[in-house]
A and B are shown apart, each in its own frame.
Chain A
């Protein structure tokens, strides 16, 4: 995820302090991985340097100064461009699981067992996500669904591979 673009997007609705930005980010996007303050401030200095944000005001307090950031016109354009640009789909061609299956077959180990163990591990994770979905709000449900569909795709590949193990064994053992 592009943290810079996400923080810029959050600034579009109005100026915010670094702390507010972190809180808004964590609330909407940081369920599993909340931002560190350090990441917020280093990202904001970069955006400031590139003219995408500006300092809208500074509050002096007992601690360090609190800067309030506002998005610039260049920042708004940058967010718009980022949103309209399609993400490159990840083809996952370098699959560790595929490598393991091939190596298991080459070394005459039990590849079906390996796939069974992997299925159990995937399902364990999917159960956790399904439970979180049951208890969560709509945002939780959408985040979990995204992960669940990817895990499901892995499992479909796994079932297909399990059904083709004999043929794959002939190929890799030459």
Chain B
């Protein structure tokens, strides 16, 4: 797919850790409302690609463009602000704050963006309801199941209505039923809000929730849609 009209696009990314190249000329693009699965064997550079696209890791060379801004030209403060306002993250393990209740966890990114507590918690409750875990809103992460915790993490990632959602093995720690429910709720919510989703996974059944897939191998990206045309 050409980057035309894309929300996030990368061109010629290189990144090495010491002598080991993790990305070796990787290109990428995703459109608003599109779910792209990033596949590839372990150590192929999938997670590095996600971290570079999200502005967490700076590439050695190459560019990442978000809308009309160039991520690679921003300083740490600017990228960090962008991650807080425009990007959402879901990882394999929820990474919820253990001292906060579920509703407080979901409200946290809203609070960091300046939303008042009452309003932030109202919106957080709406997201918990949407993710079918409204009943555990007052509990702490240590008191809920893995599947419930992951739904809370998805609610938290979506609460700020991010334009790009980065998900790295979001169902990796869940059983099949919970994993599928999380994927359904995550992709439905993302499509409803026109968020683009970058979904790193090694599971084919999870990748099947995407609109298209790319394969990362030896730090290079193969776009299967383009490959088949």
Give A contacts to B, CB under 8 Å.
116-117, 119-120, 122-123, 126-127, 129-130, 134, 148-149, 151-152, 155-156, 159, 162-163
Q: Is the interface of B mostly helix, strand, loop or mixed?
A: mixed
Number of B residues near A (Cβ < 8 Å) is: 17
List 17 A–B pairs whose Cβ atoms lie within 8 Å, in order of A's numbering.
A117-B228, A120-B227, A120-B228, A122-B204, A123-B208, A123-B213, A126-B204, A126-B205, A127-B208, A127-B209, A127-B210, A151-B204, A152-B205, A155-B204, A156-B204, A159-B41, A163-B41
Q: Which of A122, A123, A159 has most chain B Cβ within 10 Å?
A: A123
Q: Which residue of A lies closest to B184 (CB)?
A: A134
A130 near B208 (CB under 8 angstroms)?
yes
Assembly CA distance A117 to B209 (angstroms): 19
Give B contacts to A, CB under 8 Å.
39, 41, 184, 202-205, 207-210, 213, 215, 222, 224, 227-228
Q: In the complex, which residues of chain A have a beta carbon less than 8 angstroms from the beta carbon of B215? A: 116, 119
Q: In the complex, which residues of chain B have a beta carbon less than 8 angstroms from the beta carbon of A148? A: 205, 208
B224 near A120 (CB under 8 angstroms)?
yes
Assembly CA distance A119 to B203 (angstroms): 12
With both chains docked as a complex, state the minimum distance between the C-beta of B162 and any C-beta of chain A, in angstroms. Answer: 23
Closest 5 CB pairs of A and B: A126-B208, A155-B204, A120-B224, A130-B208, A152-B204
With both chains docked as a complex, state the minimum distance between the C-beta of A165 and any C-beta of chain B, in angstroms. Answer: 11
Q: Which residue of B lies closest to A155 (CB)?
A: B204
**Residue from the list A116, A129, A130 in contact with B224, Cβ < 8 A:** A116
Assembly CA distance A119 to B213 (angstroms): 10
Assembly CA distance A155 to B203 (angstroms): 9
With both chains docked as a complex, state the minimum distance between the C-beta of A122 and any C-beta of chain B, in angstroms. Answer: 7
Q: In the complex, which residues of chain B have a beta carbon less than 8 angstroms from the beta carbon of A151? A: 204
Q: In the complex, which residues of chain B have a beta carbon less than 8 angstroms from the beta carbon of A130? A: 205, 208-209
With both chains docked as a complex, state the minimum distance between the C-beta of A80 and any C-beta of chain B, in angstroms. Answer: 31
Q: Which residue of B lies closest to A121 (CB)?
A: B228
